[in-house]
Amino acid sequence: MAQSKKDFQLTGWHVLLMLLAFFGVIFVVNGIFIYYSQVTWTGLMPGNGYEASLKYNREAAKARAILARGWQTKVLVPKDGRIAIELKDGRGEPVSGLRAKGQALRAIGVKGDREITLRERGIGRYVLAGPGLAPGAWRIDVTFTRGAELQWRTQAEFVVPEK
């Protein structure tokens, strides 16, 4: 008759090896995380937190003052893609004499994104300078300035129709 295999018995050595293997994996993974945290972060902080909060508060106050003007924008989208923005003050009067620049961004992806300039064509009506936007979905972010001072900012999403 053949000898039967000896039944497996869990011994102290087995438990020790399992614990070493378990904690060894934890140690290696933590080491990898520590390494990548050190090589991917420069350690530079954005200056003094107190001063950063003061700057934030100044910018927020400027934004509240601009919004308090009650200006309104209306984006017009013709088939040729040469968008126009009508800008009116709180009384509904056209706002004239501003410089308008910004970005036109594709709603999905970055192909076709570009910087845009709008020229005043008529009182309070700012029209895209240069070629029109291609058909499709767009987002724009336009700032209106007088000299170096920000007067208004508008963002809009729209679709330029097929020609």
* CB-based contacts of 81, cutoff 8 Å, min separation 6: 128, 131, 132, 133, 134, 135, 160
In a domain, 25, yes or no: yes
Residue 83 lies in a domain: yes
Question: Average pLDDT for residues 93-103, to the nearest whole number?
Answer: 95
Per the CB < 8 A criterion, the answer to whether 82 and 132 are in contact is: yes
State how far the Cα of 127 lies from the Cα of 121, in Å rounded to an integer: 6
Question: 34 and 82 share a domain?
Answer: no
Whether 78 and 154 share a structural domain: yes
* pLDDT at residue 47 in the model: 72
Looking at every residue in the chain, the average pLDDT score rounds to: 90
Q: Report pLDDT for 46.
A: 65
Q: What is the pTM of this model?
A: 0.65
Phi, then psi, of 114 in degrees rounded to 5: -160, 160
The end-to-end CA distance of the chain, in Å, is 92
In a domain, 46, yes or no: no
Q: What is the pLDDT of residue 3?
A: 59
DSSP letter string, the chain: -PPPPPPP---HHHHHHHHHHHHHHHHHHHHHHHHHHHHH------S-HHHHHHHHHHHHHHHHHHHHT--EEEEE--TTS--EEEEE-TTSPBP-S-EEEEEEEESSSSTT-EEEEEEE-STTEEEE-SSPPPSEEEEEEEEEEETTEEEEEEEEEEEEPP-
Query: Could you tell me the CATH number of the domain that includes residue 87?
Result: 2.60.40.10
Domain-located, residue 3: no
Residue numbers of the domain that contains 33: 11-39
Q: Do 77 and 156 reside in the same domain of the chain?
A: yes
On whether both 82 and 126 belong to a single domain, the answer is: yes
Asked if residue 26 and residue 74 are part of one domain, the reply reads no
Given this model, what pLDDT does residue 45 score? 66
Q: Is residue 20 part of a domain?
A: yes
Per-residue pLDDT tens for 79-91? 899 999 999 999 9
Range in 1-15, 60-74, 115-129, 137-151 with the lowest mean pLDDT: 1-15
Residues 80 and 23 in one domain: no
Question: Is a pLDDT exceeding 70 seen at residue 26?
Answer: yes
Q: What would the two tokens of residue 24 be?
A: 């060894």
Dihedral (Cα; 77, 83, 88, 93), 10-degree rounding:
-90
Quick one: 84 and 30 in the same domain? no
**For the chain, how many structural domains are there in total?**
2
